[in-house]
Chain A
Amino acid sequence: MAVSQPTLTKTKGANGSAPWLNENVKALGLFIISLVLFLLFWEIGANLKLFAKGMPTASKTLQELWWWSTHPFFDNGPNDLGIGWNLLISLRRVAIGYFLASAIAVPLGILIGISPIAYKAFNPYVQLLKPVSPLAWLPLGLYIFRDSEKTGIFIILISSIWPTLINTAFGVANVNPEYLDVSKTLGASRIRTIFKVIIPAALPNIVSGLRISMGISWLVIVAAEMLLGTGLGYFIWNEWNNLYIPNILVAIFIIGLVGLILDNIFGALEKFVAFGRKA
C-alpha cells in the first residue's frame, strides 16, 4: 500500500491538469466566453443594422434590464407597473391555479392508481385531455367565469393538472410489488399500507409530476396573460403595443430566470425524496 501511494500521486501530476481546472471550471469559462462573444456579435450587428429594423443594441437592453431590476416596484396605473409587481401578479395566479390543480390531481391520482380497473377506465379521459393546448380552454373559461382573473387561474388549473395526475397514478399503480408483499406478510391494514408504503414509494413520481406541472403553469401564464389585464404576459403585450423591443427582451429574460429558479426548486425536491432511486 505504501508503495502504491507515491505512484498514484505521480500519475496524477503526470496528467498535467492543475486541480483547479476541473470540468466545472472549464464549463464556466466556456459559458463566459460564449456569452461575451454573443453580446459582442449582438452589439456590433445591431450597430451595423444587420438585423431587423429597430433591433436594440445589447448595451441598450442591458441598461434597461438594470433599470427595471433596480426599480421593480412602482405603480403608475395598469399600463405602467414595475416589473416586480407584474411578476408577483403572475406568480400569484400560478400559485393559486397550480395549488388547486395539485390538490385535485394528487389525491385523485392516488385513487385512480390504487385500483387497476379505475386506472384502465380513466386513462382514456386523461390521454384525450392532456394534449389539448391550454389556450383552447380560454374561450371556455371566459364564457363560464366572465372574469379575466378567474379565467387565468382556470387555465393554469386545467393545463397543469394532467402531468401530476398521470405521474401520481402511474407511480401508485407501479409500486414495487415486493414492498406490497412486505406489507402483506406483516398483516398491515389497507390504510396503513397506503400511507406508509404506497404513497412514499410513489413520491418520486408524484414530485416529478409536480415539477412538470409547474413548468407548464409558468409557460401557460405568460400566454394567457397577453389576453388578460396584468402580469408579465400583459407587460410584454403592452410593450409590443408601444413597439419598445428592449423591454420585451428584459421580460423574456426575467420569465426565463424565474422559470429556471422554480424548476431548480423542484429538482432539489426530487433529489430529496429519491433515496438512491432513479425517478
Chain B
Amino acid sequence: MSIASVNYSSNGAVSPEPEFPSAQLSIRNVTKVFAGKRDIFSKLSGKTSRDFVAIEDISLDIEPNTFVSIIGPSGCGKSTLLNMVAGLSPVSQGEILLNGSPITGPGPDRGMVFQNYALMPWMTVEENIRFAVETVFSKLSPKQINRAIKEQIQLVGLEGAEKKHPHELSGGMRQRVGIARALAINPQILLMDEPFGALDALTRGFLQSEVERIWEQQRKTVIMITHSIEEALLLSDRIVMMTRGPAARVDEILEVPFPRPRDRNTIDQHPAYHDLKAEMESHLFRETRAVEESRIR
C-alpha cells in the first residue's frame, strides 16, 4: 500500500503510544441517552417525549487486527454503538478510546461502510473513491492519488466499472465501491453496519467470501454489525452478542476459534461450529421473543 506511509497527524487525528497495548479500541462504560423533546413548541403541540436510554454501561476492548461482529435483536442499539465509535453521534456517559485517546468526532482513522452503500450518485465509481482519497490525503500528488485509487479498484475487483455511475451497478457492485472507498483512506479500523443487509442471498455469500479474502490480505481491525449467524461465524474472531433494548448491554462474547483462511463450504466441519451456532441461535431467539412479548403487552 503506497498510502500506508502517510502520517495521520496531518489530518488532526493523533496516534500516540497506546496506554493499553493490547486494546486498540476501548469502549468504557458507555451509555447513550436520546434526549426527549421538552421545548415550548413541543409542549404547545402536545408532542413531548421522554428521554430514551438506548445503551447502558457497555464496556468492550478490541485488540488490533481482530474481526469483531456485533449481533443482537433488531432495534437494540447496534447502529447507535457503531455511530458512537465512528464519532457521528456523541456518547452520553463513559468514553471510547482509540489507541488511548478519546474519540471526540468523526475522522479518517475510522472507515465506514454503510448498509445502503451511501455512494454519491453523481460521481462515477472512480470519483467516489477519489473523493475519499483526495479528502484524506490532500497532500499527495495526482499521480500517487491515481495509483491509490487504482489499487483499491483492483483489490475489490471493480476493474472495468470505473467510469460507471452507481445507478448502473448491481447492489453487490455498489457495496464493493463502498468497501473500496472505506479502505482507500487506509483507516485503522473498518466499521460496517449490516454491509450485506440489502443484498440477495447469493450476492451476499459471494461478497462475504470477498471480504474474507480482503481481510486475509490486510488484517485490519473490523467491527461489523450483522443479523446473520453464519456470516458472523464465517468472518469473525469474536462475536459480541447484545441484549434487547432499551438499556441494551453486552450479554456474552464468543471466541471463534476456526483457523484461517476460512472457506464457507468447509467451515461447518469444525467441531465447535454447531455448538457456537446453537448458542447464538438460542440467544437471539430468547431476546427476540422477549422483544415481541413486550410489544404485545
Contacts and interface: CB of A to CB of B under 8 A. Distances in A.
B139 interface: no
Interface string A190-207: 001000110011010000
Nearest to B105: A184
A184 B108 CA distance: 9
A186 B12 CA distance: 12
A176 B112 CA distance: 16
Nearest to B120: A179
Contact of B132 (A184, A186, A275): A186
Contact of A185 (B11, B106, B116, B121): B106
A277 B135 CA distance: 25
Interface in A32-79: none
Contacts of B13: 187
Contacts of B206: none
A176 B121 CA distance: 11
- Chain B contact residues: over half helix, strand or loop, or mixed? loop
Give the interface size bracket for A toward B: 20 to 34
B83 to A, nearest CB: 8
A186 B135 contact: yes
Contact of A276 (B107, B110, B121): B121
Contacts of B111: 185
Interface in A118-162: none
Contacts of B107: 185, 187
Nearest to A203: B122
A275 B121 contact: yes
A172 to B, nearest CB: 15
A186 B186 CA distance: 11
A197 B86 CA distance: 19
B96 to A, nearest CB: 15
A196 B131 contact: yes
Given A178-B114, A182-B114, A185-B112, A276 B166 contact: yes
A272 to B, nearest CB: 10
B118 A192 contact: no
Contact of B120 (A181, A185, A187, A197): A197
A107 to B, nearest CB: 20
B277 interface: no
Given A178-B114, A181-B118, A276 B108 contact: no
A188 interface: yes
A187 B112 contact: no
Contacts of A188: 135
A117 to B, nearest CB: 13
Prevailing SS type, chain A contact patch: helix
A181 B167 contact: no
Interface string B4-32: 00000001110000000000000000000
Given A185-B86, A185-B88, A275 B106 contact: no
Contacts of B181: 182
Contact of A277 (B118, B121, B123): B121
Contacts of A178: 114, 116, 118
Q: Give the bracket for the number of chain B residues in contact with chain A.
A: 20 to 34
Contact of A187 (B108, B167, B168): B108
A24 B166 CA distance: 30
Contacts of A181: 86, 88, 106, 112, 114, 118
B264 interface: no
A273 interface: yes
A200 B122 CA distance: 7
Contact of B118 (A182, A196, A200): A182
B136 interface: yes
B11 A187 contact: yes
Nearest to A193: B135
Contacts of A184: 87-88, 105-106
B213 interface: no
Nearest to B110: A185
Contact of B185 (A176, A186, A277): A186
25 contacts: A176-B118, A181-B88, A181-B106, A181-B112, A182-B112, A182-B181, A185-B86, A185-B88, A185-B111, A185-B112, A186-B108, A186-B132, A187-B107, A187-B136, A196-B131, A197-B120, A200-B122, A200-B123, A275-B121, A275-B122, A275-B165, A276-B121, A276-B167, A276-B168, A277-B121
Interface of B: 11-13, 86-88, 105-108, 110-112, 114, 116, 118, 120-123, 131-132, 135-136, 165-168, 181, 185
Given A181-B88, A182-B118, 8 more contacts: A178-B118, A179-B120, A185-B112, A187-B106, A200-B120, A203-B122, A275-B165, A276-B166
Question: Sorted from nearest, which 4 A-B pairs have the closest CB atoms?
Answer: A276-B167, A178-B118, A275-B121, A184-B106
